[in-house]
Chain A
Amino acid sequence: MKTRINPEDVFRIVDKHNNSQGAIISILEDVQATYNYLPEAALRIVASRTSHSLVDLFGVATFYRSFSLEPRGKHIASVCMGTACHVRGSRQVLKSFEDNLRVKAGGTSTDGEFSLSTVNCVGACALGPVAVVDGDYYRNVKDGDVSGILDRASRIDGALKMTDDERVFAVSVSCPSCNRSLLNDEHLLDGHPMIRVTASFGRKHGWIRLSSLYGDYRIQSEYAIPKGVVVHFFCPRCHAELRSGRLCPDCDAPTILLLVRGGGTIQLCSRSGCKQHFLDLGG
């Protein structure tokens, strides 16, 4: 599964780091955060836009284990192979993961859902064998438990989902008026589609993309938005204003209303720089 690379996204990452020397790791981290791995095409773009040669980028990318040159699955499963887990039978557990996913440790299942890896001790030896799936720890795992663990991880895929390490949700949102999805698959952040809406403030009117990770405030916007300005958000499909009746408890600006897939709403303060937001899954 090859990810489509939008060169503009890579340019933006490079520009953000101002082409400073020594920014090589930060640039690669941002590229990986965007695509979930380091696509060759993206590395070539970075090399052409910075003073870093492809050789150096590749050297760093292959040196650190946290970088991956292969697309990783939506879910990350790792089985502890540390001494304590090993003597308690983690080999069997790993084998069961491998059989269930039909992939060897270090690989990604053909459907792109799971990446399987091993780790050497996650520091929970007394609970071994330990498996970590999407940031959730499973203790005393037996080979028979594995399919259940994998099922559970796949199910959390719906409205809310834990990402691999950040422990934040990715929310799938839609417009409260027309109910169509606001996610944009062409622009990924941390491997998740971004929320794309239309924003207007002052005389400016353009697109804005918000991270779909709950609690993450990263945005990309056509126009720089000055701090403190109240922005109006519109659905790019039906052009209705995404507005709730409530005011922000911190700064009294109107709040934006988004529908969460699977039930509930999310409300964000419309003032740039204000981080007030609440998730209401009751509705």
Chain B
Amino acid sequence: MITLRINGVTAHVENGTTLLEAAEFLGFPIPTLCHMDGLSPYGACRLCVVEIGEVGQSRLVSACTYPAEEGLVVRTASSRVVSNRKMILELLLASCPQSKTIQDLAAAHEVRQQRFRQEYEDCILCGRCVRMCEEQMMAKAIGFRGRGENRSVGTPFDVKSEVCRLCGACMQVCPVCELRCTFTEPEKAICGGCANLSPPCVDMNEYEDMMCYMNPCVACEIVRRDGELTAKEIDDVVV
């Protein structure tokens, strides 16, 4: 057992408990985004920041990945935590304003402005889909590719994955792709194709922004022609 103090309240937790779990146990809410029960902690979004250590020598850590330590002092809502959390939300809004999840989080934390250059990314690289596919669906169909500003999520070589079984779990857990297939204008949002299985959704050309891993799209049965070709070429090459 480990004893620590969160917001002045003493908690006794099992070895290996994260600060997030300990705080939840005591009833202190910590907002999360990349964290998901059933998936391994990842620490990508930093939304769950908390302050640890005595005032004056404290530091910020992500609660979802930091293990409880004996005698640790944790603050989940200090002014430093709150201002950092708001900044993170503001940055998330700058990259993915169309996400309902992010909008709701921003509203709940009273983020009233967005001062950065507005972009319309379709992914915040939270890794939920990647972990879902690997850890719960045992498929490993999608993963991170590239690095830095070129980092993206998708299938290897961007072709239809042989191991993806179109379960849709990746889309289910994505905090951004709820409004993904957005034609060409991000603001218009909502694809709706899935809700309307026939007739097929939209012409493939309209789907520049398509980020759905269901390739071909279940609703519209889009077949990525270039992808198919590559797959066939491979068969030709491997004799």
Contact = CB atoms under 8 A, between A and B. Distances in A.
Contacts of B112: none
Interface string B150-166: 00000111000001000
A53 B143 CA distance: 10
A2 B157 CA distance: 16
A40 B157 contact: yes
A2 B141 CA distance: 25
Interface in A14-61: 39-41, 43-45, 53-59
B143 A56 contact: yes
B238 interface: yes
A39 B145 contact: no
Contacts, number: 46
A62 B238 contact: no
A63 B230 contact: no
A2 B233 contact: yes
Contacts of A43: 156
A41 B234 contact: yes
Interface string B215-239: 0000000000000001001100111
Given A2-B237, A7-B238, A40 B230 contact: yes
A4 interface: yes
B25 interface: no
Contacts of B233: 2
Contacts of B140: 53-56
Interface in A133-165: none
Contact of B147 (A39, A63, A69): A63
Name the interface size band of chain A.
20 to 34
Contact of A55 (B141, B146, B237, B238): B141
B237 A63 contact: no
B20 interface: no
B158 to A, nearest CB: 10
Nearest to A52: B140
A154 to B, nearest CB: 28
Contact of A44 (B141, B142, B147, B238): B238
Contacts of A40: 157, 230, 234
The listed residue with most B CB atoms (<10 A of its CB), out of A40, A55, A57, is: A55
Contacts of A5: 237-238
Interface in B96-144: 134, 140-144
Contacts of A4: 237
Interface in A166-219: none
A57 B155 CA distance: 11
A57 B156 contact: yes
Nearest to B156: A58
Interface in A56-78: 56-59, 62-63, 69
A44 B143 contact: no
A175 B101 CA distance: 71
Contact of B157 (A7, A56, A58): A58
A109 B157 CA distance: 22
The listed residue with most A CB atoms (<10 A of its CB), out of B157, B230, B234, B238, is: B238
Contact of B156 (A7, A41, A54, A63): A54
Given A40-B230, A53-B140, A54-B156, A59 B238 contact: no
A55 B156 contact: yes
Contact of B237 (A41, A56, A59, A62): A41
Contacts of A57: 156
A55 B155 CA distance: 7
A196 to B, nearest CB: 19
Contacts of B142: 55
Contacts of B146: 62-63
10 contacts: A2-B237, A7-B238, A7-B239, A41-B234, A44-B238, A45-B238, A53-B143, A54-B140, A56-B140, A63-B147
In order of increasing CB-CB distance, the 7 nearest A-B pairs are A55-B143, A58-B156, A53-B140, A41-B237, A62-B145, A62-B146, A54-B156
